[in-house]
Structure 1
C-alpha cells in the first residue's frame, strides 16, 4: 500500500455528523497534508467511541446486512470494505484514495481524567482508578493515550497527571495533543515532562459536538513513513507505534483564536 500514513489519532463521530461528509472532508484534509504526492498517502482515522454506544460497531452492523457481505457504499463515492480485523474497516473513494477506519474508546477515570484506548473493540468501564484503567487497556493489547483537552489538565487533575507521569506507568502510555488547542495557548508542560521520559505524543483532531466540526478530521495528526497491511492495518499500526525507533512526525495547525472562542461559546449556550 502507501509509503506514507497520515493518522488522526482522536476522532469522534457525533450525532450531528454525516458519515459521507466526514469522509469527504477527511480525504481533502489528508490530501492537503501531502500535496505533492497525495496518491502515495493513506489516511487513518482512529474513531474513539464515547460511552456505551459504539458508533463504529453500529456502522459495521448497519452497513453490512449479512455475514457474507464484505463491502457496501456510502453515498456514490465511497466503498467500505471489511478487513481481517473486527476493529478496522477500509474506505475507498471512487478516485482511488484509501482510508482506514480504526476503533477506539474514550474512558473517564475515577479521578475525572480522560483516557483513550486505541485500536481495540473491547469495552472499558468508566470511573475506575487511572492505574487500573491503564492496566485493563494494556491487557487488551490496546494503546493507552492521555489526551490533552481544554481545561482538563489544570488544577488538581493537571497535578495528578504530572504525578502519574513520574510512575512506572509512564513507559506504557502515550499523550495526545489536539487541534482544538488555540495557537495562543502555551504548549502544556506535561508534554515536555513526558518527552524527557521517552513518552511520545500522538496528535489528533478531537472534533467537538458542533455541526461544522465534521470538517476537522484528518486536518491534524501525525505522519509515519510506512506501508500498512490492508488486511490487518490495526495490528500493523500498533506494532509501529510500540517500536521506539518509529519516527512520529506531527502535521497540521492549531485552532484559530477567534474560532476557538466561538466554539467555546457555542458549546456552552447551544
Structure 2
C-alpha cells in the first residue's frame, strides 16, 4: 500500500481515479465502496498496489498536518487546533510530520504541547530525509514514552529523481484489512493506534540529504515562469 499526502494544489489521486493520469504499464481501478482507495496493477508482472488518498494541510502556525486515508479537501491557513479538531470529529487520522528545521523554537514547543493533549488519532511522522546518524528528536523520545505512534514514510522531496525513493522507508501494520474498503479499514485502525508499528526500510544517508536540501533551496530560489506557481 502507498499513502499519498497531497497539497491543496495537487490532485494526482483524482487524476488517477478519473483516467486523466495513466501511468505507462499500469492499470488503475476504482474500488467501488471506497472513494479514498485505488487498486493499481502492473501489466508486465501482475504485481498489485493499493493507493490511499490523503492530504497535507498547511496551518497558520507553519506546522503541517497530514490527513490520512481521506479523499476530502481541506482548507489551508487555519489554526492547527481547528484543523485537528475537525479531523478528530470526522475520525480521520492526523500526523504531524518531522522535517528539517520544522520543529525548532515555537513550532517545536507547539508540537510537544499538542502530543501532551493525548488527542485521539494524532500521531507524529518520521521520514527517510532524517539521516540515521542524526540524533532522535526529543519529541520522538517523549512520544515513545507516552505511546504516541510515530509513522515512518519515504516522503520524497519535489526534486528530479526523488520518486526513486518511494517506499524505501515505511512501516508494517499488523491488522485485518477489508479489501472492499481498504482506506476505510486502514483509517479506522490508525485512528485508534497506540504504540509503534514495525519500521521497515532505511533512511537516506547524510550526504544525500544535504544534497537534497541544497537542491530544494536552489529550486525555491529560481523565479517561476509567468503564470505558474512553484
Which stretch shifts more, 93-102 or 148-157? 93-102
Q: Which residue of 2 aligns with 1:119?
A: 69
May I ask how many residue pairs the two structures share in their alignment?
217
Tell me which residue corresponds to 1:80.
Answer: 28
Query: How far 1:247 sits from its partner (Å)?
Result: 6.5
User: What TM-score results when the alignment is normalised by the length of structure 2?
Assistant: 0.87
C-alpha separation between the residues in 2 aligned to 1:242 and 1:101? 18
Matches within 5 A, 1:29-48: 44-48=1-5
* Residue aligning to 2:224: none
Q: What does residue range 1-270 of structure 1 map to in structure 2 within 5 Å? A: 44-63=1-20, 74-76=23-25, 78-83=26-31, 84-94=33-43, 95-169=45-119, 171-244=120-193, 248-270=197-219
Structure 1 unpaired stretches of 5+: 1-43, 65-72
Encode CA deviations 1:97-118: one digit per residue, 9 max, x unaligned. 2111011000111111011000
Distance 1:165-1:63 versus aligned 2 partners, 3 A rule: same
Alpha carbons 1:122, 1:140 under 8 Å: kept: no
The root-mean-square deviation of aligned C-alpha atoms, in Å, is 2.0
Structure-1 separation of matches of 2:118 and 2:193: 17
TM-superposed deviation, 1:227: 5.0
Q: 1:47: Cα distance to partner?
A: 0.7
> 1: distance between equivalents of 2:186 and 2:213?
33
- Give the Cα separation in 1 of the matches to 2:114 and 2:191: 20
Task: State whether residues 17 and 29 of structure 2, in contact with CA within 8 Å, keep that contact through their aligned partners in structure 1.
Answer: no
Aligned partners of 2:192, 2:109: CA distance in 1, in Å?
Answer: 29
Secondary structure, counterpart of 1:187 in structure 2: coil
Instruction: Give the Cα–Cα distance (whole angstroms) in 1 for the partners of residues 109 and 196 of structure 2.
Output: 29
Deviations 1:15-45 (A, max 9, x none): xxxxxxxxxxxxxxxxxxxxxxxxxxxxx11
Distance in 2 (alpha carbons) for counterparts of 1:225 and 1:198: 17
TM-score with structure 1 length normalisation? 0.75
Deviations 1:151-202 (A, max 9, x none): 1011211111112222243x43011100011122111111121222221011
CA distance in 1, matches of 2:218, 2:72: 34
Runs of 4+ with >3 A deviation: 242-247
Could you tell me which runs of 5 or more consecutive residues in structure 2 were left unpaired when the two chains were aligned: 220-230
